[in-house]
Amino acid sequence: MSGLPFVVSERATKSVLQEFDDFRSRIEPSEKEKSAISASHLRLRSILENSTDINVIGSFLTGSYIRETMIKPLNDVDFFVQVHYKDHQNDTPTQLLQKLSRVLKRAYPSTPISIIPPCVVVRFDYCRFEIVPAIGITDNEEKFKIPTNISKAIVGWQFTYPRIPDNWMTLENKKADGLFKPTIKMLKRWRDSHEIPLKSFHLEMLTQMAFKNYNQEISNYAQGVLAFFVNSRALFGYFQSTPFIREPGNTGEYVDQYLYDNRSKLASVRNSLKTYCDYAERAYECMDMGSAGSAKRLWQKIFGSSFHAPSSTILTTPSQSLLPTLQEKPSSSLLESIIRSNLLSKD
């Protein structure tokens, strides 16, 4: 009889982790949706490469679709179009966007198309494409110059490194045995279910930082989500007034600057991390105690109705935290000094 609690706990954990797998499948784009994106991309590429109004020398997809972190409902697909420098060196950012828009409007006369710097937005029925005209930089193949809003009335240029996030995402997913990308998808559903003001790319980079800088790995989805909440909450607790996630490519810009420019949004994110960290800790505790149904209901509280759970009585607010919080602030610079040993293994 002494082994019974372990057996119950093991069964509960297996049941919950199976629901995580099913949940992941529900929120991922279907094969039909991915085929539609591929077909639209190929047609757009052909239209632009054969245009006489703009000289396209290359194009590539980037963003959540190519990084395989897109979820349902489909939102936007990022499409970079590199134009020839000599033919467009005298174009202002606005002129370049207008040329791109005219080409697309001729090809899609019935489709809503608008200019929203840095891109031209093509709104198909199932999804929108955000097409960014870009000029390559001679001495750095990763670096591009694209339009940007300097103010409401002025469009200027900015430098960006669109391929770098795609590369590190692949590496992070490989290190996590394929669990990193699905974990991000689940966290995006958490964000969307509760209208949390975190931008998609910011959430992706925050997730990477939450594991890398606390020297943690993802062993399963439940542990991965819980570790994200615990570690992200700690990061936001330490960086009270300054952004801490740099844009890729050493641009000097910060991915999370928009939050620190808007204190109400920043407070909302901090409060959400605290609330759902508590739920995740309680859910993990229920799994350990062998209560699969209670654990699933708590995970559903986090992810919304896409995460299936048996019906039951109304949930109360989680009480005592399962995991310890950081007892002291890190003592030195940005990230290396805040690494902690595996928080989830502590009693």
pLDDT band of residue 150 (cuts 50, 70, 90) is confident
CB 238, CB 329: distance < 8 Å: yes
Structural domains of the chain ordered from first start: 31-160 (3.30.460.10), 165-345 (no CATH)
Count Cβ atoms below 10 Å from residue 209 Cβ, excluding itself.
19
C-beta atoms surrounding 109 within 10 Å: 8
Q: Categorize the per-residue pLDDT at 6 as very low, low, confident or very high, splitting at 50, 70 and 90.
A: low
C-alpha dist (Å) from residue 205 to 164, 200, 220: 12, 9, 19
For residue 347, pLDDT over 60 is answered with no
Cβ 44 vs Cβ 131: under 8 Å: yes
User: 9 pLDDT band (50/70/90 cuts)?
Assistant: confident
159 forms beta bridges with 145
pTM, full prediction: 0.86
Lowest-confidence segment of 87-96, 255-264, 324-333 by average pLDDT: 324-333
Residue 317 has a pLDDT of 44
- In tens, the pLDDT along 211-235 reads 988 888 999 999 999 999 999 999 9
Rounded mean pLDDT of 46-51? 97
